[in-house]
Structure 1
């Protein structure tokens, strides 16, 4: 049996200023009348029993999560603070392992776009079958052919072929710089869409080997789930993603190649590309009048008219208190901008 775990605890800094500490991107609407979390939950329920679907999020977002999706309180796993996906996934795996150690887990993010949802659900179920019937002690990743040198994704080097679309992972490289990403694409690396499958009990054993600090905290939590102990244990661990903490270190992982139409709604460029018709038209959520302006993303919360002349491949975002402008190809650099904003004691804009 496969238990989907939806990660919903991030802030989404690369979609700043719309996504903020007070109102993260997973609780907002970007391309239809549902929030990113609602879209993800609906998609997962199309293939899995509601009682087996869990959501991981921050403690203060618990009521917000319940207000957005029809989920039992016991299926919301809350963190006292954000300490990266390694801790979030570990906490979820611990919870599931205490229910049933042999249970299969699939990790999905709340901020992903999937065009063909039936194909996506089939991928998850086919992957579980491989895990159950052939490789019960393996960590399985999906891999997707890159379309451009994205610096915000992980890259997977494909190893020995084991079967139809099934391979060993030669190596995993998280968030390379632009030139390295270009080289990875030339060498046939695949994107990591953050679709992970494993048995719950196995993840904890891998943490013991590769993330001992996180493992010790989770071991202590397994004996005492009280809020006080959760807070205490979270204070002892570093903020680290599972990509850096585990995937870059592990050997003998498995890769399933897939051609699902996937995108991580992790930056303004990726959102533009999702909504684009590939004809270099402008994407806007408000009225806009343009002259010689192409392939731009305009997003305004106020409903103002946006007018441009001679603007190409730009991102323009307006909120109540911030106007943000950058070339689309540098949309990932917003994280550096936020560091400078914080240095100037302008936290109220974060």
Structure 2
């Protein structure tokens, strides 16, 4: 079995902690098995491993996880999951059908999976329990037994919700693999109530099929594309449409496997705070007259709350949110108006935080960051055309490459990197750097990367 995890979204409902590059699935707020914080994506990958679905994962043709994502999320995935997953990056965002089609092509032409391989597609961020993954295994088994070409997970509804699409089983279906009669997209409340009377299930967004099933569907759009590289190069020719609309609703042979355990979408602050172990995270004091209030503070500054009730307070370098819990779903409309650069970003080598930025009257700009490199990681060999940088090493030890010359650096060392000058750094231990950029345009896109091999030291 091969598992495709879909990682997308902008996470605007969990602003300010989430943004365009740090979506909700990367927030390390949930309690891990040993008490350490973990993100939604880390939790799901751990649960998949614990479920036993990754048999022979170390073999080239063994079970494995591939994450379909955008270029902006690649570094965060590498940082959080390391070599536990493979990553397929979309050339551009085009919805779930193209992303799944690209990933299945990668499984076939790069990993070498056969057309008969069972593939399961699922989101990377459901908050659920072990029974969910046992249901996924039953879905895969149903595909292998040829119960249907396409098998879905149907969530047993707990209420007539208007937030989900519904799967309507065929009348009289009694087995644990239910033939599907039709689908209904997010209904109004009255229609949802009637659907529950028909035994309808919520569409959980989990799909299972044989690899060849989707490879054949892809041929209708790119009949002469032979392999992953060609599909990747012609990605823009694929329709920008969801997998549900393009594949599921057109399929002739569809079944659903029900799941009735815990299942939540932690896509709003109100939903997320219900699963947090503590009412406060970070540098926070909650006064004795504070009720039902959760505070998540990623700033070094203290946040003190007293005499308030039913609030969510979230603070980091991107901004500060103070919101009544009953209104937490409504913040997206305000966040949609924002057009600011991310102030915190996870990278494959660690993370950075923007500490301050200033624009001067003559057009000159400055930007100050804290860079944290994990031990053994390195920043690519690169140049900048529009800015120069000053690096002050404040903790740890590393190697600095500057126009081909390598020096050992540590606390108190300073490096001045001029425009066009090749530079890289490698952390021998966890390494922290204060970076001050200056120039007329300070954007992440001002970068050219070059090949570089660190010598043995």
Q: TM-score if structure 1 supplies the norm length?
A: 0.77
Equivalent pair of 2:136/2:153 in contact (CA under 8 Å) = no
Q: Which consecutive unaligned segments of at least 5 residues does structure 1 have?
A: 209-214, 277-281
| C-alpha distance in 2 between matches for 1:167 and 1:302 | 50
- Residue 179 of structure 2 is matched in structure 1 by 168
Match of 2:265 in 1: 264
Cα 1:157–1:318, aligned 2, differ >3 Å: closer, same or farther?
A: farther
Distance 1:10 1:207 in 2: 24
Match for residue 123 of structure 1 among 117, 125, 135: 135
2:153 maps to which residue?
A: 142
Question: Which residues in structure 2 correspond to 1:72-151 (within 5 Å)?
Answer: 75-98=86-109, 99-115=113-129, 117=130, 119-135=131-147, 137-148=148-159, 150-151=161-162
Partners of 1:152 and 1:332 within 8 A in 2: no
Rounded to whole Å, the distance in 2 between the matches of 1:180 and 1:317 is: 37
Contact 1:157 1:190 in 2 (8 A): yes
Q: Does the alignment pair 1:36 with 2:37?
A: no
Higher relative contact order (CA 8 A, sep 6+): 1
CA distance in 1, matches of 2:309, 2:204: 31
1:91-112 deviations in Å (ceiling 9; x for gaps): 1122234431111111122212
**2:252 matches 1:241:** no
Would you say the 8 A contact 2:169–2:180 is kept in 1? yes
Aligned counterpart, 2:377: none
Deviations 1:175-207 (A, max 9, x none): 446665566556653222222111122124456
* CA deviations over 1:37-95 (Å, ceiling 9, x no partner): 2222222222113342222222354344333224278x322212222212111211222
What SS does the aligned partner of 1:55 have?
A: strand
Counterpart for residue 254 of structure 1 = 255
Which position in structure 1 is the counterpart of 2:305? 307
In structure 2, runs of 5+ residues without a counterpart are 32-36, 344-457
Counting strand residues as a fraction of each chain, which structure ranks higher?
2
Change (3 A) 1:289 1:82: farther
Find the partner of 1:348 among 317, 320, 341. Answer: 341
Task: Please report how far the alpha carbon of residue 23 of structure 1 lies from its aligned counterpart in structure 2 after TM superposition.
Answer: 1.8
Does the aligned pair in 2 maintain the 1:93–1:200 contact within 8 Å?
Answer: yes
Q: Is contact 1:151–1:332 with CA below 8 Å preserved after alignment?
A: no
Q: Which residue of 2 aligns with 1:159?
A: 170
Offset of residue 257 of structure 1? 1.1
**CA RMSD, Structure 1 to Structure 2 (Å):** 3.3
Q: Residue deviations 1:275-299, cap 9 Å, x none?
A: 48xxxxx9443442364733x5433
Q: In structure 2, how many angstroms separate the alpha carbons of the residues matched to 1:3 and 1:309?
A: 52
For 1:125 and 1:245, locate their aligned partners in 2 and report how far apart those are by CA, in whole Å.
24
CA distance in 2, matches of 1:101, 1:3: 12
Residues 145-199 of structure 1: per-residue CA shift (max 9 Å, x gap)? 2335655433323333544322122332344466655665566532222221111
Other-structure match for 2:24: 25
Match of 1:289 in 2: 287
Cα distance in 2 for residues equivalent to 1:319 and 1:326: 15
Q: Which residue of the other structure, out of 225, 230, 242, is the alignment partner of 2:232? A: 230
Q: Tell me, yes or no, if the aligned pair for 1:322 and 1:349 is still in contact at 8 Å.
A: no
Provide the TM-score with structure 2 as the length reference: 0.61
In structure 2, C-alpha distance between the alignment counterparts of 1:178 and 1:329, rounded to whole Å: 19
Deviation per CA, 1:228-274: give whole Å up to 9, x if none. Answer: x725x333345432234433444542111112222222222331343
The structure whose residues are more often helix, as a share, is 1
Q: Which residue of 2 aligns with 1:336?
A: 333
Question: In the alignment, which residue of structure 2 is the partner of 1:212?
Answer: none
| Distance (whole Å) between structure 2 residues aligned to residue 186 and residue 270 of structure 1 | 27
Residues 309-338 of structure 1 show CA distances to partners (whole Å, capped at 9, x for unaligned) of 4634x5443332323344545544444333
Equivalent pair of 2:142/2:151 in contact (CA under 8 Å): no
Show the counterpart of 1:321: 318
SS of the aligned residue for 1:235 comes to: helix
